[in-house]
Amino acid sequence: MNCYIDAGNSRIKAHLARRSQKDVEPAMIDWPPATEPDAVGALATRLEPLLVDEKGRSPKQIVLASVVEDRRREWLETAIAEICPQAQCRWLTVPRKCCHVRVAYESPEGLGIDRFCAMIEAHARHGDRPLAVINAGTAITLDVLGADGQHLGGLILPGWRAQLEALRVTTPALGAAVESLETGEGGAVSAEIPEATRRLGLGADTATAIELGRHWLLASGVNQMLAVWQERLADEGELLAVLSGGDAGRLVDLIDPAIEQRVEDDLVLSGVVRLARARR
């Protein structure tokens, strides 16, 4: 039995699998807060149900794809060693080329492993046409692939929560409005925006102005980028936008219906499994 882990900045996703298993069934946990005095212990408690199955069996090999800083990487390594000391950990790195995808970065190791895994999985699923692979996580990344698997490069944008966090830190006087959006009342604010206001795109109170601001920032950036690359790659076929990540459902609502689009929730973790099993 192997375990595949996608360690993102907000959450950790894991899939416990037998070698022959095809479907990826992700389980998800949050990182312990930075203020947690026993971060490793707290992480091990959260992680154990993901690593040990109902019969008490744990994996022989744990394959990890991580985009977090060294400190949380060490927490993860130590927590895993506590839960299943016999398991061998294998940290994936980005190769120049694998699974028919060739990385645009001059130094492939500089590219996020989550972006690479999402690209190889999207290309394996839809590789006969150009793709925009969009990962709407803590950061939103958007990578363009030619129909032949050549990565043409990408964009990194602050994600939904990160945009609020930036305003909270840099403009403290907006704190109350930001907090109303962050604490879930934000969901209510955004749900209560009347359809006409949504289309006009202007807020007449601070929380709505912030909510519509991030709506339009992402909608205009992403749609403009998709329109440009749809046109540039027209000779290779119609561009398909493949979305994954915690905010994929929100982002897909903002994408121009003229662009073909699909939400595929398990994209990164499936790509982790694909990369781990690939012959290189």
Ligand X SMILES: CC(C)(CO)[C@@H](O)C(=O)NCCC(=O)O
Instruction: List residues near ligand ATP by CB under 6 A.
Output: 8-11, 30, 67, 114, 137-139, 159-161, 245-247
Which CB contacts under 8 angstroms, 24+ apart, belong to 159-163?
Answer: 159/245, 159/247, 160/136, 160/214, 160/218, 160/247, 160/250, 161/10, 162/138, 163/214, 163/217
CA distance linking residue 119 with residue 240, whole number of Å: 12
Instruction: Report the residue number whose CB is nearest to ligand X.
Output: 112
What is the nearest approach in angstroms of ligand X to the Cβ of residue 141?
5
Tell me which of ligand X, ligand ATP, none is bound by residue 166, counting a contact when its beta carbon lies within the kind-specific cut-off of 5 to 8 angstroms: none
CB contact burial 146-181 (16+ within 10 A = b; e otherwise):
bbebbbeebeebbbbbbbbeebbeeeeebeebbebb
User: Any binding-site annotation on 70?
Assistant: no
User: Any binding-site annotation on 190?
Assistant: no
Q: Which is nearer to ligand X, 60 or 71 (CB)?
A: 71
What is the nearest approach in angstroms of ligand X to the Cβ of residue 9?
6
User: Any binding-site annotation on 79?
Assistant: no
Token pair listed for 200: 């006009």
Token pair listed for 239: 């561009």
What is the nearest approach in angstroms of ligand ATP to the Cβ of residue 33?
12
The catalytic residue among 53, 70, 114, 235 is 114
CB contact burial 100-117 (16+ within 10 A = b; e otherwise):
ebbbeeeebeebbbbbbb
What is the nearest approach in angstroms of ligand ATP to the Cβ of residue 147?
26
Tell me which of ligand ATP, ligand X, none is bound by residue 115, counting a contact when its beta carbon lies within the kind-specific cut-off of 5 to 8 angstroms: ligand X
Residues that bind ligand X (CB under 6 A): 9, 67, 110-112, 114-115, 137, 139, 141, 156
Tell me how crowded residue 82 is: count the other CB atoms within 10 A of its CB. 15
Q: Which is nearer to ligand ATP, 17 or 118 (CB)?
A: 118
What is the nearest approach in angstroms of ligand X to the Cβ of residue 48?
25
User: Any binding-site annotation on 4?
Assistant: no
Tell me which of ligand X, ligand ATP, none is bound by residue 245, counting a contact when its beta carbon lies within the kind-specific cut-off of 5 to 8 angstroms: ligand ATP
Tell me which of ligand ATP, ligand X, none is bound by residue 10, counting a contact when its beta carbon lies within the kind-specific cut-off of 5 to 8 angstroms: ligand ATP
Beta-carbon contacts of 244 under 8 Å, excluding residues fewer than 6 positions away, are 118, 134, 135, 136, 263, 264, 265, 266, 267, 268
**Residue 205 annotated as catalytic:** no
Largest CA distance in the chain: 59
Q: Show binding-site residues.
A: 6-13, 105, 112-115, 138, 206
| Residue positions annotated with a catalytic role | 114
For the annotated binding site for ATP, the residues are 6-13, 138
